Structure 1
Amino acid sequence: MTDLDLRSDPADLTAALVDIASVSRDETAIADAVETALRNQTDGFEIVRTGNRVLARTQLGRDSRVILAGHLDTVPIADNVPCRREGAGDDEIIHGCGTVDMKSGDAVFLHLAATMTYPDISDTDLAHDLTLIFYDCEEIEARYNGLGILAEEMPDWLTADVAILGEPTGGIIEAGCQGTLRVRLTASGVRAHSARSWLGDNAIHKLAGPLSVLADYSPRRVVIDGCEYREGLSAVRIDGGVAGNVVPDEAFVDVNFRFAPDRDVDAATAHVRELFAPFIDAGEVTFTRTDAAPGALPGLAHPAAAELVAAADGRFRAKYGWTDVSRFAARGVPAVNLGPGDPNLAHKRDERVESAQIREVADLLRRYLSVEV
């Protein structure tokens, strides 16, 4: 088992975590290493291991509680483990699977847990009670997501005044998240030989109307707590056809709606259905919702969240994608994304993170979490 030094430079800790391969559903080794390090190198935490999820929390009686949550799994390795480091000091770049998504965020959280609670080395005290959640299976189907399982089986661990998810944001607070909805519009017709097309009813042609709606759609821009969310409605898949000489009797288009968090899933579904209602009511297409996940309001007006914004020198923006902050928001917990790394590099073969940015995020969160002693 790899020994992790939680008190080392968080960039070094990032490299050590990357070198523990942890593709989704194979997180035992990294969960073992994280659990052992937390038990041996922190003080004052209740520590619980459940499956490949490692939980730790203080009970100091502070007026507020902050959750630091990060997933331990990565997408499949692409010849990029172990990590490769180039440069030195603030110019160093660490290459490897998970450097961005999100072992650098995990490293920051683990480093702070050790250096802010161990009495022999800490010169600060926690301003908030602290909960750490390291979980599995974030990168695969939602039914396996470790945070979702915790929400069902151990919901008290998700109770806090604010939650910080270590997703890559370039070191800038990304508040809340958009919801996501997918629907399938299916058209049916009558199959025929294309040389006698008048004997058939072309299902593909029936999608022309819905596609024109998509092409002409003007998405909303919504400002919530100073964050602008930009909605989007897109065709993401279209299929149909039998052979080069056959009028097709079935075709479909899949539509993805990314909606601002002031809508819930039902309202988002109703909006999309209304757009295609003329074609649905005319019997040209059927409408089926195939997937949905709610968004998360930013909640930056909450005092604990406002303190975080202040510690970040007022730098924040909306999160356009969907992340697990939604699971906290569903429980009434304001949640933000904040971590090192360019999110555009996540999952890429050349995934990489700047060591200086890892340290910057660690310093930002240290200011937020601590009071001088």
Structure 2
Amino acid sequence: MANPLTPDVVVDPVELTRALVDIESVSRDEKVIADCVEDVLRSAGHLTVGRVGNTVMGRTELGREQRVVLAGHLDTVPINDNWPSTVVDDLIYGCGASDMKAGVAIALHLAATLPDPAYDITYLFYEAEEIESEFNGLNLVSASHPEWLDADFAVLLEPTYGVVEAGCQGSLRVKVLTHGRRAHTARAWRGVNAIHAAGEVLRRLEDYRPRTVTIDGCTYREGLNAVRIAGGVAGNVVPDECAVEVNLRFAPDRSEEQALDHLKTVFEGYDLVVIDSSAGALPGLRAAPAREFLTAVGVEPAAKLGWTDVARFAKLGIPALNYGPGDPALAHAPDEHVEIGQIRDGAATLHRWLAS
């Protein structure tokens, strides 16, 4: 297949967005789009290029005092009758248009057209963000080529509707277990119903008052919610176990260990089983490139209410922000789309910052 990312397309981030959307790249099927991106980077001439699986890296080697990373994932969720792309007025529709091929288009456009930036830049186009962490391209790169992630500052081009979203919340999911004793429901007094015992767990959740935390001017709202309940043996058996799955979204001033300790306090007296845990990321606004980036954008940052791969950079001690075109509320939706004006504005903003 001829590469649709021709030089005439790459110079226009809007046309490049549509061309990227038209390359199907559901998670674990990113080889074609990674091949196309790699070809663009190698053709640029001023970049050192590497690849791990379907994650492609390009970087300048200009000897600048500071290095920044621009990162975006190549994969999308499964197509939902929304591929290939269509254009209606000022909107590009299609799977991945907002999350996050418009952001990828901006980064790839800059990689190809900005040979002499003010910082050294590492561009990372990575695979499998939408699925389990074990497949995530940034996760794999951190294990095999950690030097690719080394930088003073990083921008993850996730959709933020053109707003700077700083840091991210952490996420912790646990099962809260209740125990009982089995019995026949005809002789229920001989048993102890574990599902009934879960009522106290639900009452504690109902009474819970989450924190609101402001860090570097960014306000993070925490939340603790039951997301699933499982229990029961058969239609005529008093159940002896019930599990209430809860999700804590916590502000980045808490570590994963502190978040778990908090849940142990909330659910004192119950057994907890951790299902998964992801650290948050502090805002990262104090690094010099971050301050210069905020000046270029010209808006005050807001807290990221959710988890993104900025946390992977934060874990390495690299401050990182989320900034990109597209409405995050449209991610994964059948009518996913991105505004053409936002693509142009985002590309101009990043060019102004990196070329200054």
- Give the TM-score range, shorter chain: over 0.9
Contact kept? 1:95, 1:351, Cα under 8 Å:
yes
Equivalent residue letter for 2:82: N
Structure 2 distance, partners of 1:186, 1:271, is 16
TM-score (structure 1 length as normaliser): 0.92
Q: CA deviation at 1:94?
A: 0.5
Counterpart for residue 82 of structure 1:
84
1:68 aligns with 2:38: no
8 Å contact kept, 2:67–2:122: yes
- The answer to whether the Cα contact below 8 Å between 2:285 and 2:319 also exists between their aligned partners in 1 is yes
1:313 aligns with 2:311: no
Letter in 2 for 1:163: A
The correspondence for 2:97, drawn from 89, 93, 99, is 99
User: Does residue 1:223 correspond to 2:214, yes or no?
Assistant: yes
Alpha-carbon offset, residue 239 of structure 1: 1.3
- Write out the 4+ residue segments of structure 1 that deviate beyond 6 Å after TM superposition: none
Pairwise mapping of residues 1-373 of structure 1 onto structure 2 (< 5 A)?
A: 1=1, 2-5=3-6, 7-40=10-43, 42-87=44-89, 92-117=90-115, 125-277=116-268, 279-280=269-270, 286-371=271-356
Which whole-Å CA distance do the structure 2 matches of 1:314 and 1:29 have between them?
37
Count of matched residue positions in the alignment of Structure 1 and Structure 2: 353
What does the per-residue CA deviation read over 1:96-141, in whole Å, with 9 as the maximum and x for residues that have no partner?
0000110000000011112212xxxxxxx41111100011011111
Question: Could you tell me how far apart the structure 2 residues matched to 1:96 and 1:194 are?
Answer: 53
Give distance in 1, aligned partners of 2:11 and 2:286. 35
Contact 1:176 1:337 in 2 (8 A): yes
Distance 1:30 1:346 in 2: 19
Q: CA deviation at 1:207?
A: 1.0
Match in the other structure for 1:121: none
Shift in Å, 1:43? 3.3
Aligned alpha-carbon RMSD (Å): 1.1
1:330: Cα distance to partner?
A: 0.5
Q: Percent identity?
A: 55
SS in 1 for 2:92: strand
Tell me how far apart the structure 1 counterparts of residues 99 and 223 of structure 2 sit (CA, whole Å).
24
SS in 2 for 1:126: coil
Q: Distance in 2 between matches of 1:224 and 1:43?
A: 42
Cα distance in 2 between the residues matched to 1:233 and 1:308: 33
**Could you tell me how far 1:218 is from its partner in structure 2?**
0.7
Report the Cα offset of residue 245 of structure 1.
Answer: 3.5
Cα deviations across residues 38-75 of structure 1 (Å, max 9, x unaligned)?
111x2311011221111010111111111000110111
Find the aligned partners of 2:72 and 2:110 in 1 and give their Cα distance: 14
| Amino acid in the other structure paired with 1:85 | V
Task: Give ranges in structure 1 of 5+ residues lacking alignment.
Answer: 118-124, 281-285
Offset of residue 309 of structure 1 = 0.9
> Aligned equivalents of 2:202 and 2:240: distance in 1?
18
